[in-house]
Amino acid sequence: MASALRPVPSDTIIRNSCRIRALVARLEQSGQLSFLALLGEAPTRISVIVDFLAVLELIKVRYLRAEQGEAFGDINLVRLDGASAPASIEVELEG
C-alpha cells in the first residue's frame, strides 16, 4: 500500500473537516467500515494521515468506536447508536 501512494503537491490543502464529513456519511449509510478499506482508498500519504486523524477525532467526540477481533487483524470502525456527528472541526494539513 505505501509504495502506491503519491506525494501531495506542496500547494494542496486537505481539510480534516471534509474527511470527517465523508467518513460520517459512509458510517450513516452502513453503520460500520473497515479501517483497512478506508486507508486503501487513500491516494496519498497525507490522505492516510488525514483519514487517521479524522477517525481519532470521531472516537474522541464519541461518534464511533474501533473494534478489533484479533491481534493484528483489521479494525472495524462502528458508529455508536444515537451518536451525532461533530458540527464542525477545522484542522488543515499542508503537504
Q: What is the tens place of the pLDDT at every residue in 43-56?
A: 888 889 889 999 99
Residue 95 pLDDT > 60, yes or no? Answer: no
CA distances in angstroms from 88 to 10, 18, 21, 27, 57, listed in the order given: 25, 9, 9, 17, 11
pLDDT tens for each residue of 20-51: 888 999 998 999 999 999 988 888 888 898 89
pTM: 0.74
CA distances in angstroms from 44 to 9, 38, 51, listed in the order given: 10, 12, 11
Higher pLDDT, 10 or 58: 58
